[in-house]
A and B are shown apart, each in its own frame.
Chain A
Amino acid sequence: GENVEQHPSTLSVQEGDSAVIKCTYSDSASNYFPWYKQELGKRPQLIIDIRSNVGEKKDQRIAVTLNKTAKHFSLHITETQPEDSAVYFCAATLYNTDKLIFGTGTRLQVFP
């Protein structure tokens, strides 16, 4: 089955700097890759997603890149702000299902 690895597990940056979180997946049939932000005790919030027919997608300060050949995708946050501090999860959907397999998570801390 699908396996998603995520790095780093923790990331500390200064406000205004960029943050990059990377994920790799194992199943080449996966075709949908969302990124979620989760605050303690809350449901995951979708922040950006990318489908396998696209290599890059950007939404204001957030961007995601996908390399299908290498089976990895990355989240890029520019001009980080303290309110970006949270746990971020990548995920991959098995082909033709809506079954999300999550990465292990990255705790991002943005220091003022």
Chain B
Amino acid sequence: GAVVSQHPSRVICKSGTSVKIECRSLDFQATTMFWYRQFPKKSLMLMATSNEGSKATYEQGVEKDKFLINHASLTLSTLTVTSAHPEDSSFYICSAPGESSGNTIYFGEGSWLTVV
């Protein structure tokens, strides 16, 4: 079946620095990918829709200048957390719909970000 791979699985960064998380569709093309954030013991909150070849669409309340999304190819979307702060520490996870019809949605493994 389709696989979505996310990297890194865990990252620790210092306050004020930026960190990039990659989401790749390994055996299918994804013109659209989605980025979610999940705080401990909370639900997955949609942050933005990543669109190949165009600007990302951000959900209300998500700072587009802080969470930079780039979808430069049909198999890769990146999320860059800029000027990270401890409150940005969270589990970030991406998803991509499969190429066939039917709403099958594949999730990456997720990335734990800790800002110290």
Q: B: which residues have CB within 8 A of A? A: 32, 34, 36, 42-46, 49, 60, 91, 93, 95, 97, 103, 105, 107-110, 112
Q: Is the CB of B91 within 8 A of A100?
A: no
Q: Give complex CA distance A102, B36 in Å.
A: 10
**Residues of chain A lying within 8 A (CB to CB) of residue B105:** 34, 46, 98, 100
- The CB with the most chain A CB atoms within 10 A, among B91, B95, B103, B110, is that of B103
A41-B91 in contact given A99-B46, A101-B46 (Cβ < 8 Å): yes
CA gap between A104 and B60 in the complex, in Å: 18
Are B43 and A43 touching (Cβ within 8 A)? no
Partner among A43, A46, A99, A102 whose Cβ is within 8 Å of the Cβ of B109: A43
A41 touches B95 (CB 8 A): no
Q: Across the two chains, which residue of chain B brings its CB closest to A51?
A: B103
- With contact pairs A98-B32, A100-B34 given, residues A43 and B49 touching in the complex (Cβ less than 8 Å): no
Tell me whether B42 and A100 are in contact (CB under 8 A): no
Within 8 Å by CB of B112, from A41, A98, A101, A105, lies: A41
Distance in angstroms from B96 CB to nearest chain A CB is 8
**For the complex of A and B, 7 pairs with smallest distance between CB atoms:** A98-B97, A43-B107, A32-B103, A102-B44, A102-B43, A105-B43, A104-B43
A61 at the interface (CB under 8 A from B): no
A41 touching B110, Cβ below 8 Å: yes
Identify which of residues 72-112 in chain A touch chain B, using a CB-to-CB cut-off of 8 Å: 89, 93, 98-105
CB neighbours (8 Å) of B45 from chain A are 102
